[in-house]
Amino acid sequence: MKKEIILIESRDAAFRDLVLETPVGRKLSTCMQCGICAGSCPVSHEMDYNPRQLVRMVQLGLKKEVLNSNTIWICTTCFSCSVRCPRGIRPTELMETLKPIAIAEGVKNKNERFDGVFSDVVRKNGRASEFLLISKYSLKEPEMIKQAPFGLSLFSKGKLPLTIDKMENTRELDTVFKLGEKAEKKESKEIRETGTKKEKEEPETQETDK
Ligand code: SF4
Ligand code: SF4
């Protein structure tokens, strides 16, 4: 995957401090870049930056690159990296910490869109229907048209059922989602407020960087 050259000027001390002060962030400075997390990650080949790189980028405060990377959305939260890290760093939780920051910053990319479609389908049906996922995501992501021949081939072999296996009672699930949304809004608001506060303090923080 082609990557842009990262300029050192893109460092954002306020973002770095915001993440480093979270429960998972406090250990990030102990990362020794051994790469065990990256080597353990089953989906690192799909990521813009693997977990080792992401940890280093957070240490450097590379806000734009971190928040716009597909890494935080591609992570399957399998916990392999967190279980194996010799320094007890939990990259899995780092991904989950970065997501609300990206949302609060209004970051949009196709991985974030897929996340939204997946949540919507599960919320309404209680289960992930492949047919609904593909059809709804295709409406949001024009590039999905390239997958049409593959989809038709699956359909012709009976591997893509059109029936939707819906849960009988989705009301309780909806309540769980509503609670999650409420918590997410609160978290995003706090992040925005903390971020603004830190941006105001930034000149002082940058002084200490030199
Ligand atoms: S396994 Fe832990 S110490 Fe090693 S690179 Fe990953 S986060 Fe850093
Ligand atoms: S939790 Fe995420 S980053 Fe860590 S190994 Fe699994 S997929 Fe990779």
Q: What domains, with CATH codes, occur in the chain?
A: 8-107+186-205 (1.10.1060.10), 110-178 (no CATH)
Q: Got the DSSP string for 153-204?
A: HHHHTT-S-------S--HHHHHHHHHHHHHHHHHHHHHHHHHHHHHHHHHH
8 Å CB contact between 35 and 85: no
The single residue listed with the structure tokens 């699956």 is 154
Whether the pLDDT of residue 89 is over 90: the answer is: yes
Residue 2, pLDDT > 70, answer: no
Q: What is the pLDDT of residue 70?
A: 92
Nearest-atom index, ligand 2, CA of 51: 3
Residue with CA at minimum distance from ligand 1 atom 2: 85
CA of 71 to the centre of ligand 2 (A): 9
- What is the pLDDT at residue 184? 78
**Cβ contacts of 129 within 8 Å, gap of 6 or more:** 121, 164, 165
Binned at pLDDT 50, 70 and 90, residue 69 comes out as: very high
Atom of ligand 2 minimally distant from the CA of 44: 8
pLDDT at 48: 92
Q: Is 81 in the pocket of ligand 2 (CB under 6 A)?
A: yes
**How far, in Å, is the centroid of ligand 2 from the Cα of 105?**
23
- What pLDDT shows up at residue 91? 96
Give the tens place of pLDDT for each residue, 32-66. 999 999 999 999 999 999 999 999 999 999 999 99
The token pair at 126 is 């209680």
Once rounded to an integer, what is the mean pLDDT over residues 104-114? Answer: 83
**Measured between alpha carbons, how far is residue 11 from residues 27, 103, 106, 147 in Å?**
20, 20, 19, 38
